[in-house]
Structure 1
Amino acid sequence: MPWAEVSTMSLRHEFVLLSLKAGANVAELCRRFGVSRKTGYKWRERFLHGGPSALEDRSRRPRRSPKRTPAPVRTAVIELRRRRRWGGRKIHHRLHALGHRHVPAPSTISGILKRHGLIDPSESLKHQPLRRFERAQPNELWQMDFKGHFAIGTGRCHPLTVLDDHSRYSMALRACGNERGITVQQALTATFRCYGLPEQMLMDNGSPWGSDAEHVLTPLTVWLIRLGIRVAHIRPFHPQTQGKDERFHRSLEVEVIQRQCFRNLSHCQRHFDRWRDIYNLERPHESLQMQVPAQRYRPSTRAFPEHLPAIEYGLGDQVRQVQDHGALSFKGRWFRISKALRGYPVALRPTTELSQWQVFFCNQCVATIDLRHPRARS
């Protein structure tokens, strides 16, 4: 049994004084004080050679630590953490990439960070590993969203982010002054010219890519569909469907936005561009087996057309034009489709259900109509 926690020094001193008396039974004293005979004799010897002060606990730290992390490496670890806010595994791989010799293990790096107060244990518990899903190839799916806006010297900044699902490569990180469709379209045009077109884009149900379940199409998503990009929306109140982009937003918040007071949008964009390069080219990604996104990404082979292609349908399609109020006439009935499609031709194709027809705009099914009910289902 160990010494009692209260007045440990006084108990040791009392034990030693009693054991040094003539005729003292040391073994019996050890039993009564709840220590082993080895421990009891140890304290007797220390007291005889050093007096009461020798009864204090001594440091168990080894006199030599031949495998101790060198001071320059510890400094590099701390500097990377303060600049990038990365964890042990990312710092380990980054130090290797920078050519450091004798890079410590990720667990050792985490220990260095904890000893210097750079890791909050409560925060670590929040970041548990999740089951991840990703597309098999780059450009199969891009995730797009606005990160929450924040105040700057001249108003507010609305960061627009576009991320490749397979590689986590950031195609766009734009400091926008608003969340209007024309603003997003201009940003996407520059992105498409650089990286080509994806097969599909995933976004939430908010403006400017959709307002609610009844109005999933907007002028912006109509433009994307005309480019041959399939448009998908997450289920309402399920932001985890865009988990990769949400995680990107968290890193952006911690590593950039919280660290600066921005004067204007240009000031924001300079910091965004600098951090985006670090994210794509330097920052190891745990879900990519510690590769950087640039190692897994390649541009799309589908080039951006400077002029929108003509809308064409098959010979067997029933083609109708969506009217100004967002509805079309078919078999003597009106069906509301979407105001975003007014003036555009759409194709109606039968389904296995005799009364139901699918409505296609270009190559995407945008609604299903039922002849028994004059209402379209998106």
Structure 2
Amino acid sequence: MTHANAPLTPTGRRRMVLRHLDDGLPQAHVAAEFRVSRPTVATWVARYRAAGEAGLYDRTSRPGSCPSQISSGLIAEIDSLRRQKKWSARRIHHHLQGLGYQLHLRTVGRWLHRLGISRLRDLTPDGESLRRAPQRIRAGWAGHMVHLDVKKLGRIPDGGGWWAHGRGSQQALASKRAHKQRVGYTYLHSAVDGFSRLAYTEALDDEKAATTIGFFCRARAFFAAHGITRIHRVVTDNGANYRAKDFTRTVSGLAGRHQRIRPYTPRHNGKVERYNRLLADEVLYARPYPSEQARREAIGVWVNHFNYHRPHTACGDQPPASRTPARVNNVTPSYI
């Protein structure tokens, strides 16, 4: 399709053709005047002589014949099977093959898409009502579901890194050398109660199964101090520490059951994932820290603020501790 300012629109082609037919200019001279090739002039002159001004418009690039295209009757059969029986493309393909038709499964799917009936909700006027409503993982009471997760962070060298002093500073160069010497990582183990959103966080040196078991026991004691004496379900991802038999055995002994989410589906553990996001936005990357210890202290202060002072929309704009059975409202010591 030509654009509006193209030199050879249908109007420009008409002028070019008439310069040859009416004015008598040779085709070579017309081609030089309009800055096109001589065969181009010959093509449009021949089309004008054959079809008049209608021949000056662009033709479709569709081939004149397509032997492999399915017949209109078969298309009507596909449309009828879909609308009346609501069959899938695969079932329609199997049915038509049984009748002797030779066609590919993708051909059926493409025609369903062209006909506008590829989705089930396209078949009924109230098709939008057939869509499944978004489901949320809701905890019925405190202790119903406790979500666990680990966030891995690089350690901050003493004196701070490049973020605190700039990339070209001496401290940044020292931090870079320390990074090459493998300063190590900090592992933030977190547990969040799905009903009250009460959170417990510890900064530990690894994420091994034994370390995770110790963290879970201390988290259970923390929840018990807030009136959550029984944990019915522990929800984790599929990390190696959570798949360990010792961890599963410990959870089975101290809680109701251990539930691992579907692989590569972190939204099923979304409560603790959202908690980690808040932790990162409001503490971890809110300002530079001079040392790892300073960051750990800031995390401890923020966790207490989150549990006892920060309003949470899931708790009716009240802090999570107000929704626990014990209704604890005082600030407890940091567990970091």
| TM-score, structure 1 as length reference | 0.40
Which of the pair is proportionally richer in strand? 1
| TM-score, structure 2 as length reference | 0.45
Structure of higher RCO (CA pairs closer than 8 Å, 6+ residues apart): 2
Which of the pair is proportionally richer in helix? 2
